[in-house]
Chain A
Amino acid sequence: MPPESKSWPGKALHWLLGAGLLLTFDLAGRALAASLPLSIPGPVLGMLLLLLALMLYGRVPYGLGMVAEQILRLLVLIFLPATVGIYFLRDLSGGDWFALIAAMVIGTLISLTLTAQLLNHLIQRRARRRGEHGQ
């Protein structure tokens, strides 16, 4: 790997390379998802593929890190169209609305609590065991 260039043409080149990598893995994930009999979403597969590639490569390329940081900072903006969609839902009966909202609010709070308690318990037990063996 050449030393990281700080001049703007070098930076732009690294940025383009990073953006290209994200796009390539997005498409690769989609292609893999389409060839599998199960409906695992393409971008999620793409993320796992990129993780695997980065593990093999050993580190995060400069340009990729730069693009990823920028796109993750804009995550809320990118998800806005999907979020705004909830205000446009009209095709449900009153009872359905009640069941839906109750299930989402109460259900999420319950599963948040249960998942967190379980994880916390498991991780602490493991940490204690490791402590006993004098890590």
Chain B
Amino acid sequence: MGSEMHTLWSQWLAQLQQVAEGFLQPLSATHPLVILPLNIAGFWLALKIYRRTGTPILHPVVGGSLLVFAGLLLLGVDFPGYQQGSALLYLLLGPAVVALAIPLKQNLVMVRRAGWPLMLGLVVGAVLAPLVAVVIAMLLGGSHTVLVALATKSVTTPVALALTEQMNGIHSLAAGVVAFTGIVGAVFGPTLMRLLGIHDERVTGFTLGINAHAIGTVRALEISALCGAFSALAMGLCGALTALLLSVLTST
């Protein structure tokens, strides 16, 4: 494992160097100094609007991405160019997922108290979420590509990207499915819980983590630290479990 750690370290350094080189390029619409402020402005403005209005439909995930998309259209930048300019944010994706361990640790006592019902709910939820989606798409006559992308629905974005690579799905489609599912879950999840008469924040958090992963966890963290902790736990375990199940299923 030591040598692997070393290769990964040099890979990471190469990535960092790429980010740095991006900044040294001549100024253009895809330059990080244009794209990064666009990202930050979109995020900041969406957050302001969301706090002012308070409607879940205008969650920063929705508002921010729409604002950034509008900005990209105005600048005439395509998606690869945008991705290149956002390289710094991609670099933060891994550490951000790892950082979810902290709210988890801080609420571990509550997690332990909930015990085995959570684990049972996790297994059922992890199987159910992609299954329901794939069955609906099948009934509506979705193509193989669509079905593969939907199969990765209950995992986080970086996971989905790794999985579809093995299953020959379209990359951006899987990322899109994960993001869109997350938005649907984050926007309607808490309201749906209230309609179902569920006021237990542990249940809300765990359900959001399984069905809406990272974006659901962002929403859960807004409800409370406890809710966020359960969401982070569910997301982590569900990601590991789905990845495991899918790689077993596709290897046979």
Contact = CB atoms under 8 A, between A and B. Distances in A.
A118 B162 CA distance: 30
B42 A116 contact: no
B96 A46 contact: no
B138 to A, nearest CB: 8
A44 interface: yes
B177 A100 contact: yes
A73 to B, nearest CB: 9
A93 B158 CA distance: 26
Interface string B1-44: 10011001100100000000000000000000000000110110
Contacts of A117: 196, 198
* Main DSSP-derived SS at the B contact region: helix
* Main DSSP-derived SS at the A contact region: helix
Nearest to B40: A77
Contacts of A105: 184
B98 A116 contact: no
B92 A76 contact: no
Interface string A11-26: 0000000010011011
Q: What bracket does the count of chain B residues touching chain A fall in?
A: 35 or more
Contacts of B156: 41, 43-44
A72 B146 contact: no
Contact of B150 (A28, A77, A83, A100): A100
Interface string A82-98: 11111111011101101
B211 A108 contact: yes
Interface in B121-151: 121, 124-125, 128-129, 132-134, 136-137, 140-143, 145-146, 149-150
A84 B66 CA distance: 7
Contact of A72 (B96, B150, B181): B96
B124 A84 contact: no
B73 to A, nearest CB: 9
A96 B165 CA distance: 20
B53 to A, nearest CB: 16
Contacts, number: 327
Interface residues of A, number: 84
Interface string B53-65: 0000000110011
A104 B177 contact: yes
Contacts of B78: 88
Contacts of B226: none
Contacts of B101: 25, 47-48, 50-51, 54, 68
A126 B162 CA distance: 38
B60 A122 contact: no
A111 B98 contact: no
A112 B193 CA distance: 9
B175 to A, nearest CB: 5
Contact of A77 (B43, B82, B170, B217): B43
15 contacts: A27-B5, A74-B92, A76-B215, A78-B93, A80-B86, A81-B83, A88-B172, A89-B176, A104-B153, A108-B212, A116-B198, A119-B117, A119-B206, A122-B120, A123-B117
A-B pairs with lowest CB-CB distance, top 10? A122-B117, A107-B133, A99-B142, A43-B97, A86-B176, A99-B140, A103-B137, A68-B102, A50-B101, A41-B159
Given A79-B215, A103-B136, A114-B125, 14 more contacts: A25-B98, A26-B94, A27-B5, A35-B4, A47-B236, A50-B102, A65-B102, A75-B214, A79-B157, A85-B79, A92-B146, A108-B184, A116-B198, A118-B124
